[in-house]
Amino acid sequence: MSSDFEGYEQDFAVLTAEITNKIARVPRLPPDEKKQMVANVEKQLEEAKELLEQMDLEVREIPPQSRGMYSNRMRSYKQEMGKLETDFKRSRIAYSDEVRNELLGDDGNSSENQRAHLLDNTERLERSSRRLEAGYQIAVETESSRTASCSSSWASSWSSPSSWPSLSLSEDTDASAPPDKQRRRPVLSN
């Protein structure tokens, strides 16, 4: 049983060495080869994970008195696997930054074009802001003059008692109501 584990260990060692080598080469490759290399490394990382699972199953089948030594090895292999995944992630980030720069055309000469474009957009934004501010001022002035006009109109209409509405009683009664319920209705008139 330990011979199976040792066979898996050898396979894991060879596979991790290949992965480490490929991870180191990813940032220096041309774009087409990088894509292939990234896909290849992903596949090999999956194989390494499967090997770790097989090794873990073998360790579980080892008698408890000798299992400790193999458990320690497994911990170190899992740590190594974690380090490989972290290194690969960093390599992919560097790769994705390069791809982003290629897609955006980000080279040293484009910074002046970007600066000019940014200045144009800033000026356009400032002009729009000034127009919005002017429109807001017009709205505020219109509202205040309308309010003043309405309040003066209201005040003048209520200033003389003759313009006040008067209340008179109507002789209009409901004929269908019993006599003790018939009342005069108030009517508002100017």
pLDDT tens digits, 137-171? 888 888 888 777 777 766 666 666 665 565 555 55
Q: Which domains does the chain have, with CATH numbers?
A: 2-107 (1.20.58.400)
pTM of this structure: 0.49
| Residue 49 pLDDT exceeds 70 | yes
Counting Cα atoms < 13 Å in the Cβ hemisphere of 52 gives 18
Choose between 141 and 92: higher pLDDT.
Answer: 141
Mean pLDDT of 53-67: 87
Mean pLDDT of 112-119: 78
Q: How many CB atoms lie within 10 A of CB 70?
A: 20
Q: What is the pLDDT of residues 22-42, one digit of tens each?
A: 988 887 888 788 888 889 999
The reported pLDDT for the residue numbered 42 is 93
Q: Which of 37-51, 80-94, 100-114, 151-165 has the highest mean pLDDT?
A: 37-51
Q: What does the DSSP assignment read for 133-178?
A: HHHHHHHHHHHHHHHHHHHHHHHHHTSSGGGS-EEEEE----TTS-
DSSP state of 105: T
Tokens encoding 106? 């980000």
| Residue 186 pLDDT exceeds 60 | no
Tokens encoding 77? 């292999």
